[in-house]
Structure 1
Amino acid sequence: MASAHSNCHHCMGSLCGRQYARKEENTYCVRCYDSLFANFCEECKKPIECDSKDLAYKGCHWHEACFKCAKCNHSLVEKPFAAKDDHLLCTECYSNEYSSKCFHCKRTIMPGSRKMEFKGNCWHEACFVCQHCQQPLGTKPLITKDNDNYCVPCFEKQFAQCCYSCKKVITTGGVTYHDQPWHKECFLCTGCHQQLAGQRIVSKDEHPYCLECFSRCYEKKCVACSRPITGLGGAKFISFEDRQWHSNCFNCGKCSSSLLHCTVLKAIRDLRHCLAELIRLHRIWPQGTK
């Protein structure tokens, strides 16, 4: 504004007929005002004179002509913008540079728009749909297969197997036995009904058994210790006169020495006797040994 009287508060020069600026009830000529109070533009580093528009953001100042997007140089005056690493960006450049990309359509998810996140990926709300029925998934339960998302009913119809025992859908995990799928919770020993997942299994008439139940129900028993003879893991056993022994149980019934390598054996009153005991106790002489 032009003054009809008074002097500049700083240089004391007359303001009569000259433009001046006022600060804290004091008047200054334009030159003094700019040198004392003008802010410096963040872009061009020149003072923003009192006859120029001063645009401020977070303590920083710009000439109106310098207030532009750091990426595309378009003016940001009266437009939405964002700041990143001390640079101003229009919303389009900011989105292209820093915003998430939709996992489905690969386009930018614009700031302020709703996005859906799942397992480290992002979707536009409209893109986050069931691969089969194309209905929005929102916050509903879902199952992922081959990077595609499905609502639970569609996944069960398309892919899920049904448990051989309970006939219900297997959604996670499961066990395969004789080419049939089972829930781990349904795959039980036919004998004791304990879960078999992770255990060694023996099959009998198409039914699964744990080793203990199978041995108790079906394995032959050792004549000496009465425990089952499994034959698993390469274990050896002896069959003699229609009876069976663990190899380490097949010993002389009198002197307890092993009979594994004896060539002459005889059973007397259900006892196995080595050759030495036969000779000593019963005077039995195998042919050619007397």
Structure 2
Amino acid sequence: ALNRSWHLEHFVCCCCRETIEQNIFFEKSGKIYCEKDYHSVFSPKCNKCLLPIFDMCVMALDKTWHLDHFTCDLCQKMLVDEEGFHEFNNNIYCRLDGVNKIAPRCFTCQQPIMDNFLSAMNKQWHIHCFVCLDCKRPISAESVYEHDGQPYCFEHYHKRRLCRCHTCHEAIFGAFVAVGCKKFHPDHFVCSFCRVRLSLGGFKIREGKYYCVACFNRLVG
């Protein structure tokens, strides 16, 4: 063998020192190996079972696999015939499980976001899921109002905040007059008798009603 002659007992594998009695042997750099040790030393190892690969293999992510061991780490589906795969945290996934594992989740529906999305309030949404929690009308990231971690339009944000006029009980969206714990639209903070607009510091209170100084003095005599 190898253009040389051996005693039978000297024709041995350089690793295990077992006699090679059959014609199956391998030579590498002048050394002789039995089939088992040659594959153990030189053949690629399967990333899953760690055993040598003797025939066809899959090469991906700088690793090798037996064909039937290149599978999704979640559902165990073989990936050889799949149209792509995902790698995440040193695990491999089929496309479906990869999307479920890696893709960001919509804050509203909790489903994976596969395409365009909207980011606001440090969360992500499908475009069609980013709506006011109360009226369900679409809102934009620039016009959203946050309350208790939920998105609202301008109108329903103020209704949720319960910033209401003490006189008309409607939501206050802009400037207001605050008297104690009560709030008023500026046009609704008026004298209960003559209906003139009141100013802070220029009114009196009697039996829960607000009066200008002149009307108050006439009432109390």
Q: TM-score, normalised by structure 1?
A: 0.41
1:73 aligns to what SS in structure 2?
A: coil
Q: Paired residue for 1:67?
A: 70
User: Please, which of 140, 151, 154 is the counterpart of residue 152 of structure 1?
Assistant: 154
Give yes or no for contact 1:176–1:182 (8 Å, CA) kept in 2: no
- Taking the aligned partners of 2:3 and 2:78, their CA distance within structure 1 comes to 40
1:46 aligns with 2:70: no
Q: Does the Cα contact within 8 Å between 2:48 and 2:65 map onto a contact in 1?
A: yes
2:132 maps to what in 1? 130
Residue by residue over 1:209-247, the C-alpha shift from the partner in whole angstroms, topping out at 9 and shown as x without a partner, is xxxxxxxxxxxxxxxxxxxxxxxxxxxxxxxxxxxxxxx
- What's the offset of the Cα at 1:71? 1.7
- The one-letter code sitting in structure 2 at the alignment partner of 1:69 is C
Distance 1:74 1:61 in 2: 17
How big is the shift at 1:74? 1.2
Number of residue pairs matched by the alignment: 154
- 8 Å CA contact retained: 2:121, 2:146: no
Change (3 A) 1:130 1:63: same
How much does 1:72 deviate? 1.6
Equivalent-residue separation in structure 1 for 2:75 and 2:119 (angstroms)? 30
Counterpart of 1:122, as a letter, is: Q
Shift of 1:69: 1.1
Deviation for aligned residue 1:104: 1.5
Q: Helix, strand or coil: the match of 2:97?
A: helix
**Residue 58 (1) aligns with residue 61 (2):** yes
In 1: Cα distance, 2:62 partner to 2:3 partner: 31
CA distance in 2, matches of 1:43, 1:84: 16
Change (3 A) 1:79 1:150: same
Give % identity.
22
Aligned to 1:136, the other structure's residue is in SS state coil
How many angstroms apart in 1 are the aligned matches of 2:98 and 2:115?
A: 14
Task: State whether residues 120 and 141 of structure 2, in contact with CA within 8 Å, keep that contact through their aligned partners in structure 1.
Answer: no
Contact 2:88 2:102 in 1 (8 A): no
How many angstroms does 1:82 deviate by? 2.0
Q: Which residue of 2 aligns with 1:85?
A: 89
How far apart, in 1, do the equivalents of 2:99 and 2:144 lie? 28
Q: Does 1:141 align with 2:146?
A: no
Q: CA deviation at 1:133?
A: 4.3
Indicate how the Cα distance of structure 1 residues 65 and 180 shifts in structure 2: closer, same or farther if over 3 A, else same. same
Tell me what 2:216 maps to. Answer: none
CA distance in 1, matches of 2:101, 2:130: 22
The CA distance in 1 between the partners of 2:64 and 2:177, in whole Å, is: 68
What are the equivalent positions in structure 2 for 1:207-218 lying under 5 Å apart? none
Name the CA shift for 1:206/1:108 in 2 (closer, same or farther; >3 Å). Answer: same
Cα distance change, pair 12–137 in 1 and its aligned pair in 2 (3 A):
farther
- Distance across 2 between alignment mates of 1:169 and 1:88: 52
Q: Give the SS at the match of 1:170.
A: coil
Q: RMSD across aligned C-alpha pairs, in angstroms?
A: 4.1
Query: Match for 2:90: what amino acid?
Result: D
Is the CA contact 2:87–2:93 (under 8 Å) kept in the aligned structure 1? Answer: yes
The answer as to 2:178 corresponding to 1:180 is no
**How far apart in 2 are the matches of 1:12 and 1:84?**
52
Q: Which runs of 5+ in 2 are unaligned?
A: 5-34, 187-199, 206-221
**Highest CA radius of gyration, 1 or 2?**
1
1:101 is matched with: 105
Question: 1:144-201 CA distances to partner (integer Å, 9 max, x unpaired)?
Answer: 2344322335646886657x9xxx8239xx7621523479xxxxxxxxxxxxxxxxxx
Alignment of 1:270-281 (within 5 A): none
SS at match of 2:128: helix
The residue type paired with residue 129 of structure 2 is C
Query: Counterpart amino acid of 1:82?
Result: H
TM-score (norm 2): 0.52
In the alignment, is residue 76 of structure 1 matched against residue 79 of structure 2?
Answer: yes
1:65, distance to aligned residue in structure 2 (A): 0.7
Per-residue CA deviation, residues 18-74 of structure 1 (Å, 9 max, x unaligned), is xxxxxxxxxxxxx69x7375311101112222x32x212221111111111112211
The aligned amino acid for 1:47 is P
Counterparts of 1:154 and 1:117, CA distance in 2: 21
